[in-house]
Structure 1
Amino acid sequence: MPEFRMVDAGAVRIRCAVEGEGPLVLMVHGFPESWFSWRHQIGPIAEAGFTAAAIDVRGYGGSDKPQSVEAYAMQHLTADVAGVAEALAPGQPVVLIGHDWGAPIVWNTALTRPGQVRAVAGLSVPYLGVPSRPFTEVFDTLFTRRGRFFYQAWFQNVGPPEAEAERDVRGFLRKFYYAISGDAPPGAWPMKPAGATLLEGLIDPDPFPSWLTENELDYYEAEFRESGFFGPISRYRNHERDFEWLQGFKDRVIEQPALFIGGTKDPASTAFGGVSDPVAAMRPHAPNLTAGHMLEGCGHWTQQERPDAVTDILVDWLKRL
């Protein structure tokens, strides 16, 4: 098991799971996960000669949990990553790896703090440049105005989404994880009207796919029973703030060596169907993209559904830097 450390990141304290010695590799999870989503990668990365550290993003697990929506803006989350990196590896550029929301967090940390980031890898969510409009406008046009449900529109309502998730934490996690996994059948993420809630129509599989055991689900459930869902869901409520902040960097690209890993059954890897080839789409915005991998049949939970493949890709990439 890794060692847990509480790190002063500046504005908040962040819990880190740390193992190994050597150059720092800092891993950032997405929604709704924790440091634990990197459980398969921490040991092998440490054994390869690195300090492997996986954080709980603010609002999750053992990290601080501010109680304002604006506290979860991208500007603050990238500052947290930079603060942890400086605390664990003072004065040294580090390697960042992120999954789901963790991918935009590390992409934007590399973009806005290039001197602090040696290389960057994103899983599931490709980097497509500084946005030209807030994502709220995108999903309002494509979904809400057409009377169609989109989960991020549902998350804009403070209160009801948290209540739905917290009513049955284990059931929420099972249904949400399964719906966008590679094991889910077509239609597991159902089309529904804009007035629906997230869980309406989602399947609770029996049994759950083997990539997440009952004991592992126990860990996630306990973490979210303790933390609640306000912080995690509030990440989705900052699209306008994120857009405004990032406009100051619109003339930049990610210059560092970069890596992308996605899944062919992951809707996020294709930007919800808007990108046919995420690796090609990234290259203008990350010209030193050294490799891109699309894992056949893999869903959204990349490093958990395909732990061996993802670990091998990451370790090989890290050794080549």
Structure 2
Amino acid sequence: MQFFRVDLDEISLHCASLGPEDAPLVVCLHGFPEYWAAWHAVAERLAGDFRVVLPDQRGFNLSTKPLGVEAYRARNMVQDLHGLAEHLSPGKPFILAGHDWGASIAYAYAFAHPDRLTHLVIANGAHPVCFQRAIVEDEAQRRASQYFHVLRAPDAAAHMAKDGFARTMKMIAGFSRTDWLTPKAAAEYRDAWAQPGAMEAMLHWYNSSPVVVPKPGEEAGDVPLLSVDPERVTVRMPHLVVWGGADEALTTACLDGLDAFAPELTIRHVPGAGHWILHEKPDEVAAAIRAFVAPG
């Protein structure tokens, strides 16, 4: 494992890396409330044949934490990723993988820079239009997404940090099983969350998001994501989704209609896996990625 920083125009990204530098590049994006270590177990299984780079996204752990909600619009994270890609693989397409919020940025990057990717891999994450539609139309997904209101509240950072980040740990346990979360791993997560300004910055991802989450029984009202031109949100490279069906945060309704946005779509269901599929089933995730990017 190697660690390095990439300095961009306004921020600096802290990254971990495994595998030979001349191997095909895979960049893996974590979600909330994780950091680069979300993909560590999967990366270890890929590192023999790939260079796997695991950045802390802006606002998380050891990367820069700019102030204000506007700094966490998806376009800014896409710009971060583009700068990182130009540093790691100038002019050469690479493989991009994302989980949870990292999936959101991976999708946004794929829409904006289709020429830079050979493959897009998503592990228990949702296409933005499919996710928004599921929240509006699927009762179970709407219920599952009510935690957005907790994390968007004005006092959310203090709430999630209280008593040694007890509520943050409880939220992790609420999304799927956590037998992978050893005392050592839990301590490392608390260290990442305790970085100055980290919890506030991490929560800005929720407050900056255009996703509309009506309460149960409410009318959805104006839902901008459902009016987006499909051409703007089409995945134009081979696309793999690795899915654990025991996810308590994302229901399988999030996959409905995905094929309309991804002409070269492959879905691999992993039995017994939940939202933390990267930790729960790293062998299966790594094997699915290998088979997808090097078929036969």
TM-score (norm 1): 0.78
* SS of equivalent residue, structure 1 residue 220: helix
- Spell out the pairing of 1:7-22 with structure 2 (5 A cutoff): 7-21=6-20, 22=23
Identical positions, percent: 28
Match for 1:219 among 188, 213, 223? 188
Match for 2:287 among 292, 299, 312? 312
- Evaluate the alpha carbon distance shift between residue 112 and residue 249 of structure 1 in structure 2; reply closer, same or farther with a 3 A threshold: farther
Match of 1:91 in 2: 91
What do you get for the CA RMSD once the two structures are aligned?
A: 3.0
Match of 1:5 in 2: 4
Preserved CA contact (<8 Å) 2:39 2:278: yes
Q: What is the CA-CA distance between 1:131 and the residue it aligns to?
A: 8.2
Structure 2 stretches lacking a partner, 5+ long: 213-222
Q: What is the CA-CA distance between 1:30 and the residue it aligns to?
A: 0.3
Q: What is the CA-CA distance between 1:256 and the residue it aligns to?
A: 0.3
* SS of equivalent residue, structure 1 residue 47: coil
Preserved CA contact (<8 Å) 2:25 2:51: yes
Does 2:234 align with 1:258? no
Preserved CA contact (<8 Å) 2:119 2:238: yes
Q: What is the CA-CA distance between 1:106 and the residue it aligns to?
A: 0.3
Distance 1:238 1:30 in 2: 15
Letter of the 1:261 partner, please give it: V
Preserved CA contact (<8 Å) 1:11 1:80: no
Match of 1:282 in 2: 258
Distance 2:224 2:268 in 1: 31
Letter of the 1:90 partner, please give it: P
What do the CA deviations read for 1:72-117 (whole angstroms, capped 9, x no partner)?
1111111111111111111111110000001111011001111112
Match of 1:235 in 2: 205
Preserved CA contact (<8 Å) 1:169 1:225: no
Preserved CA contact (<8 Å) 2:41 2:278: yes
Aligned length: 280
What do the CA deviations read for 1:221-263 (whole angstroms, capped 9, x no partner)?
1111114311111111123399879977642311101100111
Q: What is the CA-CA distance between 1:41 and the residue it aligns to?
A: 1.6
Does 2:154 align with 1:154? no
Structure 1 stretches lacking a partner, 5+ long: 184-208
Match of 1:301 in 2: 276
What do the CA deviations read for 1:144-164 (whole angstroms, capped 9, x no partner)?
xx9999111222223x11001
Distance 1:297 1:261 in 2: 12
Distance 1:247 1:169 in 2: 41
TM-score (norm 2): 0.84
Match of 1:187 in 2: none
Preserved CA contact (<8 Å) 2:98 2:121: yes
Preserved CA contact (<8 Å) 2:100 2:124: yes
Distance 1:73 1:163 in 2: 22
